[in-house]
Structure 1
Amino acid sequence: MTCHYRCATSCARPVPNESDNAYFGDVVRAAVSRRGVLAGLVGLGVAGAALQQAAPANAADGDARLFAMPYAPGHQLDFDAIAPVPGEADSFDVPAGWAWAPIISWGDPILPGAPEFDIDAQSPEAQEGQFGYNNDYTTLIPLPGRTDRALLVCNNEYTNEELMFRGFVDAASATDEQLRISMAAHGMSVVEVRRTDADSPWGYVRDSSFNRRITPGTEFSFTGPARGSRLLRTTADPAGTTPVGTFGNCAGGTTPWGTVLSGEENFNGYFAAPEETDDAAEKRYGVTEPGRGWERVDPRFATTVERQEPNRFGWIIEVDPFDPTSTPKKHTSLGRFKHEGATISLAADGRAVAYMGDDERFDYVYKFVSRERFREGDRAHNLTLLSEGDLYVARFTGDGAEDRRADGRGEWLPLLTDGVSRVPGFSVEEVLVHTRLAADTLGATKMDRPEDVERNPVNGRVYVACTNNTRRGTVDDEGVPRPGIDEANPRPENKDGHVVEISEDLDDAAATAFSWNLVLVCGDPAAADTYFGGIDKDLVTPISCPDNVAFDTRGNLWISTDGNTLGSNDGLYEVTVDGPQRGLVRQFLSVPTGAETCGPVINPDGVVLVAVQHPGEVDGASPDAPASLFPYDGTGQPRPSVVQVWKV
């Protein structure tokens, strides 16, 4: 059910990256085959002993110039780790001495005139004024000078009509009204929240002037070099400057100037398109799907009507939550692919740096460096920083198995610098609109679904969550081998994922070279192919399928999971990344059956926020036979919700 609605069952379809570039494994083999040491690593078939005692990179010196905003060490969360919760359990579990409560749920009214949630009285108009469905990336931005008022901004990634409407069968039999309701439930929600003091829970403000819904019908503006490109023009927008709508919004980031970034991820599954196409870009982006039926109520979602419309999605968008009348932006400078999200750091010279992952098997990790520099207090200027800059893609090089570590060096390969394409045969607009094809040409490293990519504001290192890739080391239907294992992706048929740690040269986010190592190879600690930073594996909590990451004020890494393969519900985990306990994993909370843990926010005051996405999304479930009743509010239906957890 999740695969069908979120990503058009991409795992069952051909891998979009069929490029024959010299992927990472080839580079390693060429470098070390004469020494005969790679055979030892491959012979293990897994990470295993080759990952023992990987040394952490040197920590950054804490220079605040490196970070998006001051982030002084402070509150340490004190909790006793919980045990994994069986996957069929319909419960939200937190440590002893902690409490939880929802802040807001799907269908809660946030705009004037919107009705209360009623699954049997839905309408497109109601949903446009209510909190959207399937909350993913979440951020909490305090109002200036206040600790009791803040703006909660959340992505509403996708809908599951089987759980939204009684008797729903499929898109072909859906009513036009159901299609419009589903469309209105996508996008983003901005909501003001308030609390009486730092020890009390947050509650949302129903009719705040800050509240806003952004949907597939919201007007946007393109920025950057591809604005106005021939590749972005449609019948409704012949200038190619004013795209309409956003959907598939997964993770994101909060900028130092107080805006929110959101990644348009699985956009390809929303377009009705011919299964067979000769267009290389359509194939590479997977725009060969039957769609979700939206073309019936909005013809632009049929590629036979608007061939270019898919090119207007797959971007990083920027929203100003403090101005509900502002026009959101789609930044072409950051490239187009299945963006998990984008997070911002500041380089040593003040330029804004965005880290990004392309959430697809065998796709890439990217970095953007702005042309202009951040100016403290000059918000108007800072709002333009993502419009122009340099775009890079990562190539990882291993140093072989001789040192018994999975580590090495890497470089950020230039796709676009100083306003000039650095990819032979690609114009600037082609680099930005067809970024995947450009990165293929340069020979970037094919990774295991790189999702969230974030810089630790305490130690300065960058963490890449590679969720999984069960196709690595296998063959396709025609017997052609797919990419095999390498040091940065050490397991064949990688079902549990891993986390890469990057240390950029000179501790500078603008650097074009880096070193790297694996900090986690996830799965059952008892399995030989798992690794936890070198710590005794008997001490750690099992973890599978890392997705979103966040950090607390001590620099601990927090990981939310999506798709636990170990028989347990997904959850949120704390991971120590520095000191003698490096690699220690402790589970903080567990979400209900069928749910995914998203958008963790680890507040300096010790309050934790998580987005509980698609609770009860279990095959065969329906409104008349729900698999979950989360958030247990008496409605008798599962409702995606943003939850707060605090110590009592």
Structure 2
Amino acid sequence: MPTSSPSSDAPRPESLVPVDPATGQHPQAGRTRRSFIRGVAAAGASTAAAVALDGAGITDLLGDSAVAAGPPTPFSDFKALAASSADQVEVPEGFRADVLIQWGDEFLNSDGTKLRYGFNNDFLAFLKLDGKPDEGLLFVNHEYPAPFFQHGNKGPGGKTAEQVELEKDSVGNSIVHIKRVDGLWQVVSPSPYNRRITGGAPDCAFTGPLRGTIQQNADGTPIEIEATAAGSLANCSGGITPWGTTLSCEENYDGYWSTTSSFGYGWANVPGNDKYNEKTYAHYGWVVEHDPYDPSSTPRKHTALGRFRHENTAFRHVAGKKFVLYMGDDKAGEGVYKFVSDREFLPGRRSHNLQILEQGTLYIAKWAPEGRRRFATAAAGEAGGSPVTPESGSGEWVKVEQNELVDTAALLRKRIGTAEYDLHFSTNRPEDVEVDADGTVYVSFTNNSGSGVWDFHGSVRKLIEAGNDPTALTFTWQDYAEGGPTGRAGTGEGGFSSCDNLVFDSANNLWVVTDISSSSLKGSISEKKYYTYHGNNAVFMIPRSGPNAGVAFRFANMPIDAEGTGPYFDADESTLFVNVQHPGEVTPDKPTAVYGDASTYTSWWPAGNKTAGLNPSLPRPATVAITRVKPGTGPGDTTIPPSPKPEGPTGKTTVDVPETVTLATLLSKGVKAKYRVREAARIELILYVRLPKVGRLKSRLLTVARVRKTVKAGAGSATLRPGTVARAALRTRRGRILRAQVRLIVKPSDGTPQVVRRSDAFKVR
């Protein structure tokens, strides 16, 4: 892939973090959750049934943000796309999509260390480099491996040590230095910033009350937290902090030891990997803090934030108040959390701020009258109907005790009781929690198809702290929006489901990516009829003000079996970075799948497009940069991989015939002429044969056959067979070698006077 060289005056580690001299803090801090809300949030609002869009107040809900809309961004205006099930990334006309880096790509640290980009990239953050408007760092999570595509194993058992090491190397995090050259982003390699954190290295340090202790699981068995853990894994979503660090969330950590779980990888069953057993070692399942600007820094796992299936983080800072971090437990039936630090955030006091997440109090949200959004029947949930549960209420934050931090959800259930927990603490899979600039907390509930719940499309809830105080212990809540088909007839306005990550732009538009399970998508092995309208997963933009407030417009389509994750704008909002995760992931579930045989894979993205029959290839997760095409720059492509295109005005018009045709074949079947034209046209194909002198018969050029037709741009063919009179003339030269040609005459169908002529010769024996 393209690379560019770093500056020769690379900064020393202690000076890598840029600080705004006016505020004394990292420049990313000024954007807080306003620009980097990531999750379902208001996304689902646009998918309410069209007939109820206004009556239900959806438009008002989406326009009720206290944040004023800014001027249009380069992404605010586009022609929405139709739903697609094609094996490609697609963006609208006027934009281009480019693969920035993909699984397996090599990039270098300045010391010569070779690094490889990991698998299944999820969360990403773009971090500015001080004084370099066209340079930055990408911090990327790599959530989980893909054993089948990496070494052929379909199941979690029977792995060799080498295969486990290969999987370890593919997860964790990447920190990638990038630079914009001629309007397009490229990887800078080598660079002192380039770094990998894997599932086995480097050692991450534990902080907080559980460091170096032995605790008890919910079943009463002892579980150990040492001072350090080898690397990081199950890194799903994450967040940033106002002091310039990134937070990576270890989500599905509980399957790496298992040989039976559907998310099992069997690592702990390979000698030397016993500490990946989540039943005996609590080394994974935490929020991990990284300093992308300092390559010498040690990642830290914060035990004060609890151990559960962390999806993401979103902070809120109010001057004079303790620092607050919101989190969700990404599992159907689990809860929403808030951490209140013992410390305030103090701009310019980085050594102080780096300890903010080490000590504090963790709380879980208790919802009244009920936490889950439920439907009377499965059919009602599939159709995106009305729930039987209240759509607003109140709540309180219940303290999580220190001994419950190690196995948070299970120990809370044990203390509270299953019935009470399910009624007041359970929610429908909180895949993201985010904070708008006015302090409103948005919780995205992706879905919960469980019996008695039947929430197939998910919803959004907004939470307002009492007195708008982030440290308050009570709150009010309201269901903000719901997912499902809209019934709207406009292209790209059909709605979406099961939304995941989200980001606001400065014009107050909401950008959303969706996360329908690959096996349930249209055309997949367990296709669900209620997702048919959606096609593949996609990226949407939802205006929150103006005449189109509340309408979701489809901006980008994902390839087969994939989801878009981690949407993030660069500093000037001229680029939208999106991760394309797990293309082709259903492949191992097919009994016909054969490792190494791309024809048996469900996706060939990004090098190929299976639906177009283009270039059978190994599917690879990748980070994509989407930019608006600027005057004077190359147009790029609106699809990845580029769609096969007919020849344009600068392409070639050709005609091709076999080198030799027998007279018998010519007389009986004719000759097949293949042609290619560069635009729609009226064409004429003429077959000429030169007859040699025989006796008194003179040599002459005979017009043997003609074909006229109107064609589209591209390739085609036609058969030219001599007529009755011509066949009689040709028979008189039997036994002689005849010279022949097919001439192609192209007249553009738009009436322009240009005529193109091409010909190809052959022999008749």
What interval of TM-score do these two structures reach, taking the shorter chain for normalisation?
A: 0.7 to 0.9
Displacement of 1:80 in angstroms is 2.6
Amino acid at match of 1:572: V
Displacement of 1:617 in angstroms is 1.9
Amino acid at match of 1:647: R
What is the rounded CA distance, in whole Å, between the counterparts of 1:568 and 1:146 in structure 2? Answer: 40
Q: Please state whether the residue corresponding to 1:312 is helix, strand or coil.
A: coil
Contact 1:359 1:451 in 2 (8 A): yes
Q: Report the CA distance shift for 1:107/1:538 in structure 2 as closer, same or farther (over 3 A).
A: closer
1:156 matched to 2:156? The reply is no
What percent identity do the matched residue pairs reach?
33
Displacement of 1:112 in angstroms is 4.9
What is the correspondence of 1:102-501 to structure 2 with a 5 Å cutoff? 102-112=99-109, 129-165=115-151, 167-196=152-181, 200-218=183-201, 219-231=203-215, 240-272=226-258, 291-301=265-275, 303=277, 307-309=279-281, 311-398=282-369, 407-416=391-400, 421=401, 428=402, 430-440=403-413, 441-442=415-416, 443=421, 444-457=424-437, 459-473=438-452, 492-501=453-462
Q: Deviations over 1:234-285 (max 9, x none)?
A: xxx9872212221111000011111110111011111138x8xxxxxxxxxx
Displacement of 1:405 in angstroms is 10
Number of the residue aligned with 2:552: 585
Q: Report the CA distance shift for 1:645/1:515 in structure 2 as closer, same or farther (over 3 A).
A: same
Displacement of 1:301 in angstroms is 4.8
Contact 2:110 2:191 in 1 (8 A): no
Displacement of 1:341 in angstroms is 1.4
Q: Report the CA distance shift for 1:403/1:185 in structure 2 as closer, same or farther (over 3 A).
A: closer
Number of the residue aligned with 1:598: 565
Displacement of 1:86 in angstroms is 3.0
Q: Deviations over 1:62-93 (max 9, x none)?
A: 69xxxxxxx98773622334334333x11111
Amino acid at match of 1:212: R
Q: Which has the higher contact order (CA 8 A, sep 6+)?
A: 1
Displacement of 1:437 in angstroms is 3.3
Contact 1:136 1:156 in 2 (8 A): yes
What is the correspondence of 1:607-626 to structure 2 with a 5 Å cutoff? 607-619=575-587, 620=590, 621=593, 622-625=595-598, 626=601
Q: Deviations over 1:506-539 (max 9, x none)?
A: 3333333333222321121139xxxxxxxx9999
Displacement of 1:222 in angstroms is 1.1
1:548 matched to 2:501? The reply is yes
Query: Which of residues 625, 636, 650 is equivalent to 1:644?
Result: 625
Displacement of 1:466 in angstroms is 1.1
Contact 1:106 1:131 in 2 (8 A): yes
Displacement of 1:600 in angstroms is 0.5
Amino acid at match of 2:404: V
What is the rounded CA distance, in whole Å, between the counterparts of 1:559 and 1:510 in structure 2? Answer: 28
Amino acid at match of 2:625: Q
Aligned Cα RMSD in Å? 3.6
Displacement of 1:321 in angstroms is 0.5
Q: Report the CA distance shift for 1:561/1:461 in structure 2 as closer, same or farther (over 3 A).
A: same
Number of the residue aligned with 1:516: 477
Contact 1:315 1:339 in 2 (8 A): yes
1:505 matched to 2:473? The reply is no
TM norm structure 2 = 0.63
Contact 1:83 1:541 in 2 (8 A): no
Displacement of 1:494 in angstroms is 1.8
What is the rounded CA distance, in whole Å, between the counterparts of 2:466 and 2:62 in structure 1? Answer: 11
Number of the residue aligned with 2:78: 80
Contact 1:193 1:204 in 2 (8 A): yes
Displacement of 1:631 in angstroms is 2.3
What is the rounded CA distance, in whole Å, between the counterparts of 1:81 and 1:164 in structure 2? Answer: 38
TM norm structure 1 = 0.73
Q: Report the CA distance shift for 1:380/1:214 in structure 2 as closer, same or farther (over 3 A).
A: same
Amino acid at match of 1:133: F
Number of the residue aligned with 1:487: none
Displacement of 1:435 in angstroms is 1.5
Q: Please state whether the residue corresponding to 1:361 is helix, strand or coil.
A: coil
What is the rounded CA distance, in whole Å, between the counterparts of 1:170 and 1:432 in structure 2? Answer: 32
What is the rounded CA distance, in whole Å, between the counterparts of 1:569 and 1:141 in structure 2? Answer: 30
Displacement of 1:575 in angstroms is 2.2
Q: Which has the larger radius of gyration?
A: 2
Contact 2:335 2:364 in 1 (8 A): yes
Q: Please state whether the residue corresponding to 2:357 is helix, strand or coil.
A: helix
Amino acid at match of 2:92: P
Q: Please state whether the residue corresponding to 1:133 is helix, strand or coil.
A: coil
What is the rounded CA distance, in whole Å, between the counterparts of 2:72 and 2:355 in structure 1? Answer: 32
Contact 1:295 1:302 in 2 (8 A): no
Q: Report the CA distance shift for 1:392/1:581 in structure 2 as closer, same or farther (over 3 A).
A: farther
Contact 2:50 2:487 in 1 (8 A): no
Displacement of 1:159 in angstroms is 1.1
Contact 1:52 1:404 in 2 (8 A): no
What is the rounded CA distance, in whole Å, between the counterparts of 1:48 and 1:227 in structure 2? Answer: 55
Contact 1:271 1:289 in 2 (8 A): no
Number of the residue aligned with 2:61: 56
Amino acid at match of 2:61: P
What is the rounded CA distance, in whole Å, between the counterparts of 1:493 and 1:272 in structure 2? Answer: 29
Q: How many residue pairs end up in the alignment? A: 525
Contact 2:275 2:283 in 1 (8 A): no
- Most deviating of 254-263 and 294-303: 294-303
Q: Deviations over 1:404-442 (max 9, x none)?
A: 9953233342314xxxx3xxxxxx2x2211221354345
Contact 2:326 2:338 in 1 (8 A): yes
Q: Report the CA distance shift for 1:239/1:512 in structure 2 as closer, same or farther (over 3 A).
A: closer
Q: Report the CA distance shift for 1:302/1:445 in structure 2 as closer, same or farther (over 3 A).
A: closer
Amino acid at match of 2:556: L
Displacement of 1:379 in angstroms is 1.6
What is the rounded CA distance, in whole Å, between the counterparts of 1:239 and 1:342 in structure 2? Answer: 22
What is the rounded CA distance, in whole Å, between the counterparts of 2:65 and 2:472 in structure 1? Answer: 14
What is the rounded CA distance, in whole Å, between the counterparts of 2:496 and 2:468 in structure 1? Answer: 29
Q: Please state whether the residue corresponding to 1:193 is helix, strand or coil.
A: strand
Q: Report the CA distance shift for 1:224/1:644 in structure 2 as closer, same or farther (over 3 A).
A: same
- Most deviating of 543-552 and 573-582: 573-582
Amino acid at match of 2:477: W
Q: Report the CA distance shift for 1:326/1:562 in structure 2 as closer, same or farther (over 3 A).
A: same
Displacement of 1:390 in angstroms is 2.1
Which runs of no fewer than 5 residues in structure 1 stay unpaired? 1-45, 64-70, 116-124, 276-285, 422-427, 474-491, 528-535
Q: Deviations over 1:366-403 (max 9, x none)?
A: 11122211111222211111111221111222599999
Which runs of no fewer than 5 residues in structure 2 stay unpaired? 1-48, 218-222, 375-385, 522-530, 609-614, 630-765
Contact 2:569 2:575 in 1 (8 A): yes
